[in-house]
Structure 1
């Protein structure tokens, strides 16, 4: 009887043990097979880090005696990044104190609050610190702090060609000038490193799960601007503005043989490295390409060219010059008086005589008045042949000029 009871209890115990083992095996099967992918993902999420490999921005060059000289360079800086989940609680105040002591003004305003965001694994604490500053902070061996290498723009020429060059903002995007217009060429493409890292965010041994996409540097760009011509143009512009008592002005210098732009000077100007100090954003615009202006007597060149091309005048053609003449209800006069009598078109052009140019416009019509057909002819030459009112296609941002059609409302 006792033996039978003992065997019965042993059997029950065996069944219980087998049941427990079955449950254990099923649990292991559930965790290791069914939930394998999920737990691998969780493990990778806690151990793997994504590191952006910043692309080096392309440099900008100007010409100097036929040789390309760099005028916009890259300066190596570091961004201080924290992983709040791994930063030690007792080191949080020490980290902020060290940042304030070493990096000062480069620390973000809410750095302390960012360290408390334990749901995040990536918080920027300081930007654009120097290599020396980064080394001082690294020596303190804080857990959960990473120093990401990057670069900022360096403008060694100061204000030279500021509106032509533009600047790069805090987000790394080019603004105005060549920096803005050619941003896609200059910026390059950032790379990516996905790897397992330790608690200090230091990448560990490479494995098959690591991903590394190399950064692609931006293109270097050589401008047609001549550094010496640009410097002289800016100095001459400032002298002219002071002499005239003006407040602003622009100068463009071009090679007449091939159309290359050798200088674009603007005043007032600024230092691209200190763009944040400017209170008026208008100073960033390159007035030579962005703002229209009335050409004045320069347009006489195109009026004369139109008359010659249409065959109504030649440089030797003559007319009876008077100091003033009537055009519609307006009296138009020469700036230079006292050259009355028979005058050649060459002389009218040399002396910028308004009456001479009005005579060309009349000869494009019926000879005595500026007819609608004469106005249409001038418009077609100015717009279709000379390109007034159209964009030039220059690589910088530009605004096309304004050229009104002959039949626009309100024309007299």
Structure 2
């Protein structure tokens, strides 16, 4: 009986092995058939299905162009430094109605992003809420750490943010990339003026996506269809810009002014090497600015009565017409009457017999009226227009204004008389420095410009060539007035502008501020100077608005100019010539 049982067991085992082997063979054949079906018979169907999961049409955003300044800290060659650059981040957001693990979601986001755990937990538990932003500036590493965790209800999408590395320094030149409607556009400054060039052209095309749904570069995709924005290379020298902005800020604070503006031109080209306004703002945080007036670039937006800083131009007109010379004299009795209106000197005193050079040195209103009195009114107006006033300079910045010449072209003698010492007309700081620059440049008015190159995405480069607008006065007149201005900076009220070993020319202006059509006790202080002679390299304007603790520009803007000019002669390594 035992032998029969053992034989039966062996037979059963063999049957089981055969049955198991049969199952394995059938399963193997099934897999082979299935693979044959997928890879051969249904290959195109499954390929299209996979492609549909990883490819598709999408809006392809153009990369916004970068704005560069020149950086000359490397003595061997200049380098480019980004003042405005686009950076890719990721928005991390929640769909609370999809979240089944709110605590896990809050734990993850708090750990990776450093956000408050309880706040995120509260947001994640909002029933039926379709959207809650966690951050708009997650890095690629942070995004992947979050999405790889696979927690339902957490999503990401690519965002592009504009970054401004120098923050407040030169912010009025740059402007910012701000919200408009449902999109973002450049506002103010270069960002606004050059919006279309910087933005480029978006396109729709076929793209590839990775496992997280992010667009990836690949052969055959249409990522290249978008036309990226152009890069701007500025005339701004970053080192000069930084120093000038610091000196302006210190001056505004030291002299308790409401605000200030500084412009530095390269004399022979009109290139803007620095342009600062203070108070400034951080374009990275433009949304925190409560008063939109802070965004205005006062160098081109704020037209004001310049005061006596205008006198060198008026003197140039009279000299160019052959009516006076530096040695021409008149007797100053302290006042002069024009069209039944009495004009007095700033100190309301008589100064006796004075030369035209002394008129500029002592800033005598009666003297400049004497010099220009014989110039026909229309001729004087034509000169003022030729110096660039009453029209925009054409600088490549948004919000530029033209200033107002009032009745200078059609009124009586009084309008010419007051304009001769910078009252009754308004000018922008950029217009003023450009006009004085024409005297430093042999009588030729140069167009100020701030963009040196426009570098397009196709590799083409547009270069700005220095542009001579017109000859305003003869070279002889320009040299004569420049020499008179050197005397002003060395022997007049403006002696604080002088630099030992160099010929520096300059003139101040202290002008009452007009409010509601009336002159007030508040004053604007301006100094414009250039140097070093006889071949000036730079022309500088410094303006302070509503200075409160000193009375005249000779004690406020003049020392600021001196610090800037001293820095410039050292920076340019200009050797003393006297």
Q: Which residue of 1 aligns with 2:297?
A: 286
Whether the 8 Å CA contact 2:101–2:151 is kept in 1: the answer is no
| 2:325 matches 1:314 | yes
* 2:82 counterpart of 1:73: no
| Distance in structure 2 (CA, Å) of the matches to 1:56 and 1:211 | 14
Match of 1:277 among 269, 277, 288: 288
Aligned residue for 1:3? Answer: none
Pick closer, same or farther for the CA change 1:112–1:133 going to 2, 3 Å: farther
Give secondary structure in 1 for the equivalent of 2:69.
strand
In 1: Cα distance, 2:209 partner to 2:231 partner:
34
Q: How many Å apart are 1:234 and its aligned residue?
A: 1.8
Residue by residue over 1:364-386, the C-alpha shift from the partner in whole angstroms, topping out at 9 and shown as x without a partner, is 2xxxxxxxxx3322222212x11
Contact 2:99 2:153 in 1 (8 A): no
2:184 is paired with a residue of what secondary structure? coil
How far does residue 196 in structure 1 lie from its aligned partner after superposition? Answer: 8.7
Match for residue 268 of structure 1 among 272, 279, 293: 279
Aligned 8 A contact 1:253 1:263 in 2: yes
Partner of 2:377: 375
Distance in structure 2 (CA, Å) of the matches to 1:242 and 1:207: 58
Q: Does the CA-based 8 Å contact 2:198-2:229 persist in structure 1? A: yes
Aligned position for 2:175: 166
How far apart are the structure 2 equivalents of 1:99 and 1:175?
A: 37
C-alpha spacing 1:157/1:282, structure 2 compared with 1 (3 Å): same
Residue deviations 1:283-313, cap 9 Å, x none?
Answer: 1111111111111112112211211222222
Change (3 A) 1:229 1:322: farther
State how 1:225-240 maps to structure 2 within 5 Å.
225-240=236-251
- Contact 2:317/2:372 (<8 A) preserved: no
Give me the whole-angstrom Cα distance separating, in 1, the residues matched to 2:82 and 2:142.
Answer: 27
Counterpart position of 1:21: none
Matched, 1:356 2:372: no
Q: In the alignment, what sits opposite 2:481?
A: none
CA apart distance, 1:148: 3.8
Question: The residue matched to 2:327 in structure 1 has which SS?
Answer: coil
Q: Which residue of 2 aligns with 1:53?
A: 60
Structure 1: give runs of 5+ residues left out of the alignment.
1-43, 365-373
Match of 1:177 in 2: 189
Tell whether the 8 Å contact from 2:109 to 2:146 is kept in structure 1 after alignment.
Answer: no
- Measured after TM superposition, the shift of residue 203 of structure 1 is 7.7
Q: TM-score, normalised by structure 1?
A: 0.70
Q: Specify the SS of the correspondent of 1:173.
A: strand
For 1:248, the equivalent position in structure 2 comes to: 259
Tell me by how many angstroms 1:146 deviates.
6.3
Contact 2:99 2:124 in 1 (8 A): no
Query: 1:396: which partner in 2?
Result: 397
Secondary structure at the counterpart of residue 172 of structure 1: strand
Indicate if the aligned counterparts of 2:65 and 2:230 stay in contact, CA closer than 8 A: yes
Is 2:97–2:126's contact at 8 Å kept on the other side of the alignment?
no
Q: Secondary structure at the match of 1:300?
A: helix
1:54 and 1:191 in contact (8 A); partners too: yes
How many Å separate the matches in 2 of 1:194 and 1:110? 35
Post-superposition shift, 1:59?
A: 1.4
Residues 403 and 381 of structure 1: is their aligned pair in 2 closer, same or farther, counting only changes over 3 Å? Answer: same
Post-superposition offset of 1:53: 2.9
Q: 51, 64, 68: which is aligned to 2:71?
A: 64
TM-score normalised by length of structure 2: 0.52
Q: 1:155 and 1:207, CA in 2 relative to 1: closer, same or farther beyond 3 A? A: closer
Structure 1 residue 166: Cα displacement: 1.2
Separation of aligned partners in 1, 2:108 and 2:141: 13
Q: Tell me whether 1:129 sits opposite 2:138 in the alignment.
A: yes
SS in 2 for 1:74: strand
Query: How many Å apart are 1:392 and its aligned residue?
Result: 0.4
Post-superposition CA distance 1:155-182 (Å, at most 9, x none): 2212110111111124331111111111
Range that drifts further, 296-305 or 165-174: 165-174
Residue 248 of structure 2 is aligned to residue 258 of structure 1: no
Distance in 1, matches of 2:219 and 2:341, equals 85
Residue aligned with 1:348, SS: helix
The gaps in structure 2 that reach 5 residues or longer are 1-50, 73-77, 416-578
- Structure 2 residue matching 1:363: 3-state secondary structure: coil
Q: Shift of the alpha carbon at 1:332?
A: 2.0
Does structure 2 retain, via aligned residues, the 8 Å contact 1:143–1:200? no
Report the Cα distance in structure 2 between the residues aligned to 1:203 and 1:233, rounded to whole angstroms.
44
**Structure 1 stretch displaced more, 317-326 or 179-188:** 317-326
Partner of 1:36: none
Structure 2 residue 152 is matched with structure 1 residue 151: no
Query: Compared with structure 1, are the counterparts of its residues 260 and 309 closer, same or farther at alpha carbon in structure 2 (3 Å cutoff)?
Result: same
Alpha carbons 1:98, 1:137 under 8 Å: kept:
no
Quick one: structure 1 residues 244 and 144, their matched pair in 2 at CA, closer, same or farther if it must change by over 3 Å?
A: closer
Aligned pairs, number: 347
Aligned counterparts of 1:75 and 1:113: Cα–Cα separation in 2: 32
